[in-house]
Structure 1
């Protein structure tokens, strides 16, 4: 049996086991539903309390939560980033969030590479994947780096989509790591200051970051067009 077939069979087996545990084990079913509901609330304080409740294992739980939200796209990762900074300090929280986000991105990449497009469409959405496809086609080899700088682009769907291309895993990791770093640092710095009355500050900073990212994108597009004119 070919290595690619063995990988596919093994991964499908693990997914089926996970689905079976979800439906057959009440405690797992309840925990997963609770986590999804927690993300859906959009309240970082709920996530912070959940992670903190595990005490000495809080770091491990946070890491696994980031992996979970990566695979179950598109749950909001910034809630975990805020919670990490608030619990562990902004730079320690930033490091935890960045490393766990990288691990989640790598997992999404390999799931897509092993299982193919049909499986990815079931894990994400066909419409969302088509939008990322168009973005990749437009921006070429800089797509991953640019996408990571844009806060309104789904981090996880981008990772899945990259796995469907011919891009090397090393190139994907470098672009993801560099592109994800600014957002992680900003979100962590804000998360470290968050209190109940900080909503306006958060909103303002996120808007500022979005505008900054757009400026970077516009500048890159201008350079690409200028090069084409010179050819």
Structure 2
């Protein structure tokens, strides 16, 4: 049984590594891929959702698939901003259809990040960080994982994908991660989709600032909870 598990683990690692090498090779040796990826990076760097909207719309009947792929791409290539795609989807497809597209594609992207980290495994990550550091992350996610994910997802300009990678390196089950991800990002996705097509300029920044303040307030509550538990342990 253990031998079969090890074989599956190595098979998964080989598949992921081959895909990564193939993607890098395509970028450097296929001009059309190189141009497209450079345009996508510039598009995200602009910080303007209308640029993203025009890019997605240019693919016509394939616009939904392109938007879905962009969301997964930004998940893997953290920290590209996902909210630009959410605003673009709302503007192109209407707020509720855009919300469904943004939410489902973000869920797919989060799952990809989670499994990339889990398949590559701790042995690779431990060489880049430390075993003790990863054990601390394990403990944190075991106790506060879902709450941490819920809070992190409310930060529109902080990449949630980093949390997805971190969760994949811990003992958290995929089911727990996926549930917390779905619940945590749904309210923000709905709100961003609803206001994204209507707000411009300073108004967008105001809404984003309000979400950041709310998330920071929630984060303070979490830190207070962690501090209280540590104090209780010391007292014992």
TM superposition score normalised by structure 2: 0.83
Look up the match of 1:10: 15
Moved more, 9-18 or 103-112: 9-18
Shift of 1:66: 0.4
Q: Distance in 1 between matches of 2:190 and 2:112?
A: 22
Deviation sequence 1:172-191 (CA, Å, 0-9, x none):
00011111112211211121
Bigger radius of gyration: 2
Q: 2:82 aligns with which of 52, 61, 77?
A: 77
Count of residues in correspondence between the two structures: 220
Look up the match of 1:36: 41
Q: Distance in 1 between matches of 2:139 and 2:98?
A: 31
Look up the match of 1:56: 61
Q: What does 1:143-154 align with in structure 2 at a 5 Å threshold?
A: 143-154=148-159
Shift of 1:52: 0.6
Deviation sequence 1:142-177 (CA, Å, 0-9, x none):
222222223343211111111111110000000111
Structure 1 unpaired stretches of 5+: none
Look up the match of 2:3: none
Structure 2 unpaired stretches of 5+: 1-5
> CA contact under 8 A between 2:44 and 2:80: conserved in structure 1?
yes
> CA contact under 8 A between 1:80 and 1:97: conserved in structure 2?
yes
> CA contact under 8 A between 2:121 and 2:169: conserved in structure 1?
yes
TM superposition score normalised by structure 1: 0.84
Is the aligned partner of 1:95 residue 2:100? Answer: yes
Look up the match of 1:206: 208
Moved more, 84-93 or 219-228: 219-228
> CA contact under 8 A between 1:67 and 1:101: conserved in structure 2?
yes
